[in-house]
Every structure is written in C-alpha cells, then in structure tokens.
Amino acid sequence: MLRRVSDDVTEALRAEQQRFEAALAEVNDADALYELQVQFIGKKGSVSKLRGRMGKLAPEERKAFGMAFNEVKKAIEASLEGKHRAIKTLQREADLGRFEDLTMADTMSPVGSIHPVTRTRRQLSRVFRKLGFDVVDGPHVEHELYNFDKLNIPADHPARDMQDTFFVNGPAGETDSNLVLRTHTSPVQIRTMLGRKPPIRIVAMGTVFRKDDDPTHSPMFHQIEGLCVDEHVTMADLKTTLYRFVGAFFETDLKVRLRPSFFPFVEPGAEFDMECPFCPKDDAGAKLPDCGVCKGSQWVELGGAGMVHPKVLQACDIDPQEHSGWAFGFGIDRMAMLLHEITKLGLLFDGDARFLEQFPC
C-alpha cells in the first residue's frame, strides 16, 4: 500500500508529542515550563513548524492532518496547563512551610530587677504598716547633735568610737559644720520625738555609714529603726511586737529572745535574737547542729533594742514620768542575707550583674 505524505507528517507530530511529554516530566519550575512551551508550540516551535507542512499535502489529506495537529496541540496545551497548576501548588506549599523568624532583632536593653535590699525594705515596710506603724524618713547627712548628743552619746563617750564616721563640711557660710554621715537610723527617733507628741509608733529605714570594712561589715549599709512612745509602754510590748514582726516577715512561728546589752540611748538595753529559720532538721523534726547560717547556735541576731532612756525622752521634751517607750535598730542587709541565704555581705554592694540576675522581679 502506498504510504501517504500525511502519514509521515502525522508520525512526526506524534513523535514530537512523545518528546514533549518526556521533557515535561523533567520540568519542575515555571521558567523551564515556559521554555518548553516555546520549544514545542511557540511560533518557531517544533510542533508549530510541522503545521507549515500542511500546504504540501494533497487537499484530501489536509483535513485528517489538521485534525491530528489540533488534537496534538490541544493535548500539549492541556499538559502545559496541568503542569503549570502543579508547579503553582508545589510553590504555595513550599511558601507555607517556609519558616521565617519574624521576631525583632535583640536590640533592647536587658530588663532589670529589684535589688534584694530594696525588696527586703519593701517587705519590712508592708509588715510594719500592718502592725500599725507609720513609715518615716530622715536625712543621710545628719547633725552630730541628733546622731550622738541627744541620744545620750556625748562627745567624750567611748560609744562614739564604735561608730566612727565621716564628718562633712556644711554648705559654704553655714555656721553649723558639725555634720556627719549618720552612723545609724536612731537620729530619726530624735527627729520624730521633736516633731510630734506621743502616742508615737514609727519605723524608719535607710542607708547609714561607718568606718567599717570586713567580710561582715560594710562602710555603707542599711538599718531599720522602730520607735514606740506612749503611756505605760513596757519591755513586754517590745518583745510581743518583735515576735509578731518576725512571724509575719519570715512567715513562720519562730521564738525570739532579748539578751542584756548596752546602748547609751536605751535602759535597759538588749540584743534581739530570733530562732534560726534555716537549721536543717532530722526526720523527727529535731534541729541538726550543722547549720551554715547560725553555725549551730540555733539563734540569729537581728540588732539592738530596749526601753528609750529617760535622758533621751527629756532631750526631746517628753516627760519620762508620763511617757515611756521602746526602740529597736536592725541591719536590713543582714535580714536580706537571711531571707535569700546570701553568704557574703559584699555581694549585695559589688553591683555584679551575675549575682543580681538571680533575683528576678
């Protein structure tokens, strides 16, 4: 049988279609797909070129070839369209799965935290307000008269040696140059009693300064002063108040004790101790001797206390026949150390961020 020209052209057409399908299987992106489209059905594409051979066919062969051509071209266009959609879908899925870190670059300053001493001061303030005390303040640069003399510590008293401090020049032209960096918060007792009349119930907290410097003593530290003056105030009121304070502050029921001691501005005077809250215990609840905080004594000292000396009341125009009072003065830094189990006083003041970061807000 005589082979027709249209058979050859149609065969070439089918061959191009197969070549196209094989090439299409390798295509994975839109650019390569477009190139494939141009290569096969673009103006000068291999399939389009075959159409040009239609003019050489006998008129009766043209129709069959025309139909075959359209069929192949449509199939190629459909495949291109299908692949185009598949590529878009893949691209969208890849976009959705892509991880972009949208967090802002770390350009902000680190957040600070509240210093353990400040935290302790705030806690003390809360506890004493609840116990009915006003919180008052006093200056760091104090008159020698208030820091010593009116507290029954005259110029030649040996107690001054224990609180050696920094004398400060007053403002130019001022006659009273007897100014000191206060050595304790006790002068706030004097300021309060000169400023208001009994009944008085105050606490004062703040920075004090001494010529001290060793592992347990710092030249700058913090104290809390308590003062209560009223009619018939006794040592029993002092002990009860301190017992209530310790329970509220350390949130546990601890014993307290007063040991006889001497401070020129109280009579009788005492050191105030509380039961050590940190002693390890055995299974039966008995305290073990190897406590790092109290060194096995089972007591920790908070500071001094006692009944306000009659001479101090008189120096503030309060009649000791009508009124009596008690006072206490504790180291706040020591309390912060107890509360947070800090072993070295200096850590509180070195300003080392690695230490301070351990007390987040």
Contact with ligand FA5 (CB under 6 A): which of 50, 327, 337, 342? 327
Candidates 58-66, 117-125, 292-300, 326-334; binding stretch for ligand FA5 (CB under 6 A): 326-334
- Give the shortest CB-148-to-ligand FA5 separation in angstroms: 11
> Does 305 sit near ligand FA5 (CB under 6 A)?
yes
> Does 186 sit near ligand FA5 (CB under 6 A)?
yes
DSSP state of 281: B
Supply the DSSP string of 295-350, one letter for each residue. TTSSEEEEEEEEEEPHHHHHHTT--TTT-EEEEEEEEHHHHHHHHHT---GGGGTS
User: What is the distance between the alpha carbons of residues 50 and 63, in angstroms, rounded to a whole number?
Assistant: 14
Closer to ligand FA5 at the Cβ: 19 or 311? Answer: 311
- Give the shortest CB-209-to-ligand FA5 separation in angstroms: 9
- Give the shortest CB-167-to-ligand FA5 separation in angstroms: 18
Contact with ligand FA5 (CB under 6 A): which of 27, 303, 316, 348? 303
Number of residues that bind ligand FA5 (CB under 6 A): 22
Amino acid found at 241? T
- Give the shortest CB-212-to-ligand FA5 separation in angstroms: 4
285: left (phi over 0), alpha (psi -120 to 50) or beta: left
> Does 128 sit near ligand FA5 (CB under 6 A)?
no
In angstroms, what CA-CA distances link 145 with 171, 312, 320?
17, 12, 20
Asked if residues 327 and 227 have their Cβ atoms less than 8 Å apart, the reply is yes
With CA atoms as reference, report the closest residue to 223 among 352, 355, 350, 327.
327
Closer to ligand FA5 at the Cβ: 79 or 118? Answer: 118
DSSP state of 149: G
User: What is the distance between the alpha carbons of residues 172 and 98, in angstroms, rounded to a whole number?
Assistant: 72
> Does 187 sit near ligand FA5 (CB under 6 A)?
no
Residue with tokens 């390798």, as numbered in its chain: 26
Asked if residues 267 and 309 have their Cβ atoms less than 8 Å apart, the reply is yes
Contact mark string toward ligand FA5, 255..274, x via CB under 6 A? --------x--x--------
Contact mark string toward ligand FA5, 196..235, x via CB under 6 A? --------------x-x----xx--x-x------------
User: What is the distance between the alpha carbons of residues 351 and 357, in angstroms, rounded to a whole number?
Assistant: 10
Closer to ligand FA5 at the Cβ: 65 or 148? Answer: 148
Candidates 119-127, 174-182, 274-282, 325-333; binding stretch for ligand FA5 (CB under 6 A): 325-333
Closer to ligand FA5 at the Cβ: 27 or 302? Answer: 302
- Within 8 A by CB and 6+ apart from 209, the residues are 140, 165, 166, 181, 182, 183, 219, 220
Asked if residues 318 and 196 have their Cβ atoms less than 8 Å apart, the reply is no
Asked if residues 164 and 204 have their Cβ atoms less than 8 Å apart, the reply is no
Candidates 171-179, 274-282, 322-330, 348-356; binding stretch for ligand FA5 (CB under 6 A): 322-330
Interacting residues toward ligand FA5 by CB under 6 A? 184, 186, 210, 212, 217-218, 221, 223, 263, 266, 301, 303-306, 327-331, 333-334
